[in-house]
Structure 1
Amino acid sequence: MKFMRLGTRPDTFFAAADSVRSVCTEVATDLQILVDNCLYHLHKFPLLSKCMLLQALCADAGDVVVELPGFPGGAEAFEACAKYCYGITITVSARNLVPLRCAAAHLGMSEAADRGNLAAKLDAFLASCLLRRWKDALGVLHSTRHHAPLCEDLGLTSRCVDAVAALVASPDTAPTSTSASPWWAHDVAELGVDLFWRIMVAVKATGAVHEKTVGDALKAYARRWLPNVAKDQPLDRDAADVKQVATRHRLLLEKIVSLLPAERDAVSCGFLLKLLKAANILGASKASRAELVRRVAWQLEEASVSDLLIPSLSCVSDTLYDVGAVSAILDEFALRCAALPPAPALALSGSLDDSPAHSGGHRRSRSAESVSFDGTRRSLSAAPVSQGGLVQVGKLVDGFLIEVAKDPNMPMDKLLAIAEAVPDSARPEHDGMYKVVDTYLKAHPEMSKSARKRLCRVLNCRKLSEKACAHAAQNELLPLRVVVQVLFFEHARAAALASGGHAVAAAADLPSNIRALLSKSGSSEDDEADRVDEQRLRALAAGASPGDDWSVEGLRRAASKIATLRMKLAEDEDEDRDADEFARKAGLPRSASLRFRAFCAIPAGKPRRMLSKLWPLGRSGVSH
């Protein structure tokens, strides 16, 4: 640490009595000054020649005691200034420069009083030495907080802030560091929020520091000062103290939000969601929360399910998590989706059309319906989401819905609103959505039949995997029509493999009882008929009828046999080509080669007869 010595005489100040200080000289003292309950017996000549304030006070007061209330730096700073006037040696460093400079300014120790006065020497030492060294500049800046108004008037704070920002931006200042945070982040994190904010603004203004580095510094500062509310607010505090702490933390949070870099990946999505959780707890401003929501939507595909589980502190809702915040994030995310071209349809080849009647009542998502309107409002600074990122967001939302579906107080309308806020192309498979429906049905066993049907409309049965279909076929919580649709599309999938893509014709060969169940109107079903049909369907899904092997395992066995048959047919075609080559080399005439191929070929009708044996489709209903 740099220091400067002023004066050459030895220290002759002494304590004459309790709270009385004087200087040892041969000349009697003629000036009494009271500073912070400490009385100084001094001489007019050395002090008045350098202090314009004392000149004015002594001219008005005469021989009475001169009082200096509220003296900056207290008695210690005044005594150092008095020693300078006597020529006694004083040491100046980063620790005491600010109180000395404020005391000199208060006493009027400027060039107007005496050439080369204390104020000018302190300013020169500050500029030439202290502000060029990292530790010294930061130490001076730390000490300005004790005399903030006067330091602002003197320009000390702004000079220190600019110096620290310049040292941060200078590549020659950076020491070797193995920390993930910038080398300067830990030191700057010890500053108050106002000084930290000013330094970060100055650092960003230089343009020499990467925005990712600025983001890392913000994370370090948030870890240092943003508290765990339960830890930082003990129970023995009164309401006024708790309110004061919350106000201070809210100001800190809003300052951090205002400093977030414009670059998309400067901070992680998890960090932004932690800030959003803190904003909800501390009651931050709407502007800060809206900015966090917008930033989270920019990089939502990077989030995790635990990040989205924001505790709900609303007095209106009894839900465990704040689904309103997630809904706002998805609405903002829809603006990014407006820049994404529509994904190709993922329906089964040759399956039925995409009407709600044939797709399990699956409705188009809200974001897909309003994409043209939202596209006009999309922020230009948000990059359009890729198809891979869109699928990742779909998995993220499904995982979030699985967690909130466990809440007994979760309204179905809010659950469906979040589920439909994601575009259809974000879910190439609906296994996650099926888990959401199954979890919600288990957590809400009192749901009516109409509510269950409404919940299941969000499920697209044709996008379920074989494992999900097997589970859904045995799920007694699902409405009857959903189970029928699951079996129907599983049959269509297997029929597509069997017929080489002509699944429409195969799907038309449904047994009469399945066609009857699919053709029923949901609004006119009788409860007793539903119960009987459901019993039949459960038996059908379990493979109870060996003649009509409609169980999931039966479909799998049929698909496996079809694949084996195709391999054998391919081997036969290879043998035909080998026979032609043999005949050509042997010099056989073309007619003989054709006769040889006809002899080895499988009859044209045989594959169809073989398929009919491997895929028995009964035309009669299931026996009761």
Structure 2
Amino acid sequence: MASAIGIDVNGEESFFVDKQVLSLFSGRLRKLLQKPSESGAIETVNLILHGFPGGAEAFELITRFCYNNGNFQINPTNTCILHFVADFMEMTNLMKLTEKSLDCILYWSWSDVLTALKQCQDCFEAANSSGVLDKILDSLVGRIMSASETSPSGFSPESSALRFSCDTRSTISTKNGCNLAWWFEDLSVLNFDTINKAISCMVSKKLEHASISRFLFYYLKHRYLNATSDEKRQATEIVVDLLHSLDNKCVSCKGLFGILPVSSSLNVSKLCRNRLESMIGSQIDHATLDNLLVPAPYGMMNNSLYDVNLISRFLKYFLNNSESISVSRLKRLGSLMDSYIAEIAPDPSLKPLKFAAITTALPDAARDSYDAVYQAIDMYLQVHPQLSEEEKVKICCGINFEKLSSESCKHLTQSLKFPSRTAIQALIFQNSKLKSLLQNTTNNNLKKFSRHSADNEQHVNLHANRLDLSMENEKLKSHLQGMQCRVMELEKVCRKMQTQLTQVKKTKLSSSSTAGRSLPRLCS
């Protein structure tokens, strides 16, 4: 065949095709075939295509497209790979068709989106540079968020409202419905480059950091399966870096402690180690005693049983954010550290400077009582009788005598294990405390006496006021009685005068009657 051409695809497989048919659709192939053969004779031309997206399988797809004159079914399962090939081979018509298909990504199923994402992963550089990977991830993350918002208590893939979100295969069933982690398993197969892009998309779209954090722990556990040490180390560094980009409050302290021993054995980078320790340290108050009992690094001479230096670094990270730490968190950590120092105190290999550093690491506000610290120091001194006086004094600096009970203080002054200087301090403080107690008692009694005196004075004043009021009432009563007497006297005078007037009237009437009878009758 005069127009036959042999094309080697990525060194995987060779294809003999009609160069005229393929050149009709491929601008890149036309450019490669413009140069005539040196002999000018009709012969088969061989080409090698390096970096061909999708390899031999993808090349076979475009040959079908070309031989069918562009009549080729483009669907969600081949859109992405055809898009990358079209871009590589400069096939304008095919590029337009794949872009049209990508515009309909909203109507793809969850399974279709996953298939497209895996194609992007296999052709990461082409997918990333073309922007197709961003489109696929936007759709994928959008479906995850839509499922969470539509069904807060669980996700149902059969729901009509979410029929394009996923299929039944991608869910993780639980007794109460579908777990919100239904998408974890599907995304756990992504490689490191793709998972970086996926998490960045989730963060930018404001997917809950708690969900992202849980997925990353799941992803790391999945990546550890059947992996080499180098692959485990790389996976650990990637996941720690991604967890560090999240809100630390949403990252499981228990999960971080799970990564810690693995990171030590894998010899991860210093940056990874520092980030892991800072994340743990910032929420060390949520740890348990078992979490803190990390064995000391193996192979060191005269080493202690536990990695006390590691815990000291955790405390420094925690206290670096002291401005945002509540009193309750600080006291919770204080209680945890009291348990920790009690556990490490009997270790005969624990150096005094390390023990002193861990007992004095927290501020006084972290503890209401220093009895537990005293008991741990008492145990340490018992196990380390060979310590010098100076070393003992440094260790005893961890005791705050103001927050030490009288019983502990008394016990200290009578113990021969403690340095004399510390015993004297305890004795002085105990006497000071007794004086203070006595003074407070005296002051309280004086206050009570003062209050009693004030109450008596108030009672006397009240009685005096009542007495004054009584006297005023007596005066008023006497005045009223005098007025009543005067009124009675006036009434008597009035009655006497009324009697006299009546008599006068009778006298006048009698005189008038006698005079009328003595007058002569007038004659007419």
TM-score range, shorter chain: 0.5 to 0.7
- Mapping of 1:95-174 within 5 angstroms? 95-110=77-92, 117-129=93-105, 132-171=108-147
Residue of structure 1 in register with 2:318 after alignment: 333
The answer to whether 1:299 aligns with 2:283 is yes
Contact 1:254 1:284 in 2 (8 A): no
Q: 1:80 to 1:315 in 2, by over 3 A?
A: same
Contact 1:472 1:486 in 2 (8 A): yes
Q: 1:182 to 1:52 in 2, by over 3 A?
A: same
The answer to whether 1:74 aligns with 2:55 is yes
CA RMSD for the aligned pairs?
Answer: 4.2
Opposite residue 327 of structure 1, the aligned amino acid is S
Q: 1:131 to 1:299 in 2, by over 3 A?
A: farther
User: Unpaired runs of 5+ in structure 1?
Assistant: 1-27, 111-116, 234-241, 340-382, 505-624
**What do the CA deviations read for 1:162-203 (whole angstroms, capped 9, x no partner)?**
332333333577634757754434433332232222222222
Deviation of the 1:470 alpha carbon: 9.7
Contact 2:6 2:45 in 1 (8 A): yes
**What do the CA deviations read for 1:323-382 (whole angstroms, capped 9, x no partner)?**
333323323433454x5xxxxxxxxxxxxxxxxxxxxxxxxxxxxxxxxxxxxxxxxxxx
SS in 1 for 2:120: helix
- Mapping of 1:33-44 within 5 angstroms? 33-35=6-8, 36=11, 38-44=13-19
Contact 2:241 2:272 in 1 (8 A): no
How far apart in 1 are the matches of 2:284 and 2:391?
Answer: 31
How far apart in 2 are the matches of 1:81 and 1:458?
Answer: 76
How far apart in 2 are the matches of 1:454 and 1:46?
Answer: 88
Deviation of the 1:128 alpha carbon: 1.0
Opposite residue 31 of structure 1, the aligned amino acid is A
- Higher deviation after alignment, 90-99 or 118-127: 90-99
The answer to whether 1:87 aligns with 2:68 is yes
The answer to whether 1:393 aligns with 2:333 is yes
Opposite residue 328 of structure 1, the aligned amino acid is R
Contact 1:30 1:43 in 2 (8 A): yes
- Higher deviation after alignment, 196-205 or 126-135: 126-135
Opposite residue 43 of structure 2, the aligned amino acid is D
Q: 1:180 to 1:391 in 2, by over 3 A?
A: farther
Opposite residue 288 of structure 2, the aligned amino acid is S
How far apart in 2 are the matches of 1:188 and 1:468?
Answer: 58
SS in 2 for 1:433: helix
SS in 1 for 2:32: helix
How far apart in 2 are the matches of 1:189 and 1:478?
Answer: 58
Q: 1:311 to 1:83 in 2, by over 3 A?
A: same
Residue of structure 1 in register with 2:466 after alignment: none
Contact 1:131 1:163 in 2 (8 A): no
The counterpart of 1:440, out of the listed 377, 380, 389, is 380
Contact 1:48 1:55 in 2 (8 A): yes
The answer to whether 1:408 aligns with 2:393 is no
Residue of structure 1 in register with 2:461 after alignment: none
- Mapping of 1:252-401 within 5 angstroms? 252-261=238-247, 265-275=249-259, 280-284=264-268, 288-313=272-297, 318-337=303-322, 339=323, 383-386=324-327, 388-401=328-341
How far apart in 2 are the matches of 1:269 and 1:47?
Answer: 58
- Mapping of 1:470-509 within 5 angstroms? 477=417, 502=441
Contact 1:94 1:130 in 2 (8 A): no
How far apart in 1 are the matches of 2:184 and 2:349?
Answer: 44
How far apart in 2 are the matches of 1:148 and 1:29?
Answer: 37
Opposite residue 68 of structure 1, the aligned amino acid is I
Contact 2:240 2:276 in 1 (8 A): no
Residue of structure 1 in register with 2:34 after alignment: 59
Contact 2:216 2:243 in 1 (8 A): no
Deviation of the 1:426 alpha carbon: 1.9
Number of equivalences: 410
Q: 1:277 to 1:181 in 2, by over 3 A?
A: farther
- How does the TM-score come out when normalised to structure 2? 0.64
Contact 2:2 2:44 in 1 (8 A): no
The counterpart of 2:5, out of the listed 21, 24, 32, is 32
Opposite residue 170 of structure 1, the aligned amino acid is S
Residue of structure 2 in register with 1:46 after alignment: 21
Contact 1:193 1:255 in 2 (8 A): no
Deviation of the 1:31 alpha carbon: 1.0
SS in 1 for 2:34: helix
**What do the CA deviations read for 1:47-90 (whole angstroms, capped 9, x no partner)?**
33222233333432463233234343333322221122222986
**What do the CA deviations read for 1:460-495 (whole angstroms, capped 9, x no partner)?**
567556886898799775567878988998999999
Q: 1:77 to 1:408 in 2, by over 3 A?
A: same
Deviation of the 1:412 alpha carbon: 0.9
How far apart in 1 are the matches of 2:204 and 2:54?
Answer: 33
SS in 2 for 1:77: helix
Opposite residue 231 of structure 2, the aligned amino acid is V
Q: 1:279 to 1:299 in 2, by over 3 A?
A: same
- How does the TM-score come out when normalised to structure 1? 0.55
How far apart in 2 are the matches of 1:154 and 1:472?
Answer: 75
The answer to whether 1:427 aligns with 2:407 is no
The answer to whether 1:456 aligns with 2:396 is yes
Structure with the bigger percentage of helix: 2
**What do the CA deviations read for 1:249-292 (whole angstroms, capped 9, x no partner)?**
3531442244222xx52223333444555555555555555555
Q: 1:79 to 1:253 in 2, by over 3 A?
A: closer
Contact 2:244 2:279 in 1 (8 A): no
- Higher deviation after alignment, 315-324 or 162-171: 315-324
Contact 1:47 1:54 in 2 (8 A): yes
User: Unpaired runs of 5+ in structure 2?
Assistant: 157-172, 444-524
Contact 1:98 1:140 in 2 (8 A): yes
SS in 2 for 1:33: strand
How far apart in 1 are the matches of 2:182 and 2:316?
Answer: 38
Contact 1:298 1:336 in 2 (8 A): yes
**What do the CA deviations read for 1:89-110 (whole angstroms, capped 9, x no partner)?**
8665555444433333333322
How far apart in 2 are the matches of 1:129 and 1:457?
Answer: 68
Q: 1:463 to 1:173 in 2, by over 3 A?
A: closer
How far apart in 1 are the matches of 2:218 and 2:408?
Answer: 44
- Higher deviation after alignment, 313-322 or 323-332: 313-322
The higher-RCO structure (CA 8 Å, 6+ apart) is 1
How far apart in 2 are the matches of 1:204 and 1:246?
Answer: 24
Deviation of the 1:158 alpha carbon: 2.6
**What do the CA deviations read for 1:530-553 (whole angstroms, capped 9, x no partner)?**
xxxxxxxxxxxxxxxxxxxxxxxx
Q: 1:303 to 1:131 in 2, by over 3 A?
A: farther
Contact 1:201 1:259 in 2 (8 A): no
SS in 1 for 2:44: coil
Q: 1:182 to 1:465 in 2, by over 3 A?
A: farther
Q: 1:422 to 1:258 in 2, by over 3 A?
A: closer
Q: 1:123 to 1:336 in 2, by over 3 A?
A: closer
How far apart in 1 are the matches of 2:78 and 2:382?
Answer: 69
How far apart in 2 are the matches of 1:459 and 1:465?
Answer: 11
Deviation of the 1:413 alpha carbon: 0.9
Contact 2:370 2:404 in 1 (8 A): yes
Q: 1:255 to 1:450 in 2, by over 3 A?
A: closer
Aligned-residue identity in percent: 25
Contact 1:197 1:255 in 2 (8 A): no
Opposite residue 210 of structure 1, the aligned amino acid is E
Contact 2:285 2:329 in 1 (8 A): yes
How far apart in 2 are the matches of 1:247 and 1:131?
Answer: 39
Opposite residue 234 of structure 2, the aligned amino acid is R
How far apart in 2 are the matches of 1:167 and 1:289?
Answer: 34
